[in-house]
Structure 1
């Protein structure tokens, strides 16, 4: 839904700043999701709203992330860097839900959402 706009933003603004804004937005939304879940205020509709907001942040972040690969590595290494980036992305897509399931089973949904929120901090700091 937002891919065209996010791509234009990635090409028009400083990609690092776009990623920082997107990651910070996703951190704030994830903290709110954690709080709503911990306080037992979560409903199917609020969960859908939080999911929409987090995915909107992801849609804003992804084009800048992908385009920044070419800014970071030398031109002759771009194909290998893109392959490595794709491998890392797909690895997290397959391993992340398993880790989330373990956290939910051990400590509950709020803990899994909190772990997700904490994961954004490292990306923002670096």
Structure 2
């Protein structure tokens, strides 16, 4: 039994090569959609995931788990690292930086306000 999803033909259950090909196709489609201003990327990604979800409903639970493990793993493997926004940059401001800024503000206030008021 075969099934078609996004122009690709799949055996039921799909083979590893077919799942990898689907992940690559979805990644390519998403990359192309980025440059089209009329496409809302969130809706586009959700539509892709909905088609995959509907496709996997025909698989039993073990096959579905294996499918998603391979599909998601391949998408993660092919994902580009964003050099401008590395994951460790999301950690927030260090405690040292906060105290440094507070010390600078205190010095400015002392020399500008308090010292001139004491004259």
Q: Could you state the TM-score of these two structures normalised by the residue count of structure 2?
A: 0.33
Q: Which has the higher helix share?
A: 1
Which has more strand, going by share of residues? Answer: 2
Which structure: larger Rg? 2
Structure 1-normalised TM-score? 0.32
More relative contact order, 1 or 2 (CA 8 Å, 6+ apart): 1
